[in-house]
Amino acid sequence: MPLSKPVAREFITRRTITCEGYGREDGMLDVEGRLLDVRGFDMPQDWRDAVAAGDPVHEMWLRLTIDDKLTIHAVESVTDAAPFPSCQAVTPNLQRLVGLNIGGGFKKRMMELVGGTQGCTHILTLLGALSGVAIHTVSGKHRHQGFAKFWSDWGRRGSGPPALINSCHSYAADSPNVQRLMPLHYKPRTPGASGEGA
């Protein structure tokens, strides 16, 4: 269902992030994405020709090659449009992500390696989006074993629960979804627990 009809307005800016996941013939997986920013007005630039309305202000591409355990084996990044020539100087820093696992603590470690002045906020935004797509790509590769089993097993560390448990409202340990999909990890809410009563 679309949003309600807005009041009369003027288009100012649009950010489009597209992410896709692929299974490779060598058994690895590629997740790749594109971030595109356009404006609804002509934008003067000090470092390049003016950007016409609808033309890219930012356009970044990123590909991560990962294995079934979500470990990054290769990174490729291209910046086709950016406000400053210096924006492309951080591209080599993305190689620091090779060997990193897209799992618990990924975003924190990503920021340590390529955040702040070592990176680009737009590429980091794209990288954050790709990390979620990576998980769905691995899941899709193993769809033959059944999604419930995959998600029940995915991200388990030792004897602890799967990574999905308590990651959001629908995967709360006391939710009917966990009770149905991962019954071994279902924890019924105890009377008087947070969220009940007064």
Question: Are residues 99 and 168 both part of a single domain?
Answer: no
Question: Are residues 92 and 116 both part of a single domain?
Answer: yes
- pLDDT score of 183: 85
Contact 94, 75 (CB under 8 A): yes
- pLDDT score of 166: 85
In a domain, 8, yes or no: no
Question: Are residues 104 and 51 both part of a single domain?
Answer: yes
Question: Are residues 151 and 120 both part of a single domain?
Answer: no
Question: Are residues 92 and 152 both part of a single domain?
Answer: no
**Closest-CA residue to 34 (of 3, 67, 76):** 76
Does the global pTM surpass 0.85? Answer: no
Would you give per-residue pLDDT tens digits along the chain (198 residues)?
A: 799 999 999 999 999 999 999 999 999 999 999 999 999 999 988 777 889 999 999 999 999 999 999 999 999 999 999 988 899 999 999 999 999 999 878 999 999 999 999 999 999 999 999 999 998 999 888 887 666 666 666 655 566 777 778 888 998 999 998 888 888 889 998 877 655 443
- Cα dist. 8→5, 13, 77, 87 in Å? 9, 16, 39, 36
- pLDDT score of 154: 60
- pLDDT score of 193: 60
Question: Are residues 130 and 164 both part of a single domain?
Answer: no
Torsion of CA 153, 189, 179, 162, to 10 degrees: -10
Question: Are residues 97 and 170 both part of a single domain?
Answer: no
- pLDDT score of 47: 78
Contact 15, 35 (CB under 8 A): yes
How far is the C-alpha of 188 from the C-alpha of 78, rounded, in Å?
48
**Closest-CA residue to 153 (of 181, 124, 120, 190):** 181
How far is the C-alpha of 35 from the C-alpha of 25, rounded, in Å?
27
**The one-letter amino acid at 93:** N
Question: Are residues 40 and 55 both part of a single domain?
Answer: yes
Domain housing 163: 147-185
In a domain, 45, yes or no: yes
Question: Are residues 73 and 132 both part of a single domain?
Answer: yes
Q: What's the half-sphere exposure (Cβ side, CA atoms, 13 Å) at 56?
A: 13
Number of domains in the chain: 2
Question: Are residues 101 and 38 both part of a single domain?
Answer: yes
Question: Are residues 102 and 123 both part of a single domain?
Answer: yes
- pLDDT score of 148: 61
Torsion of CA 115, 118, 123, 124, to 10 degrees: -10
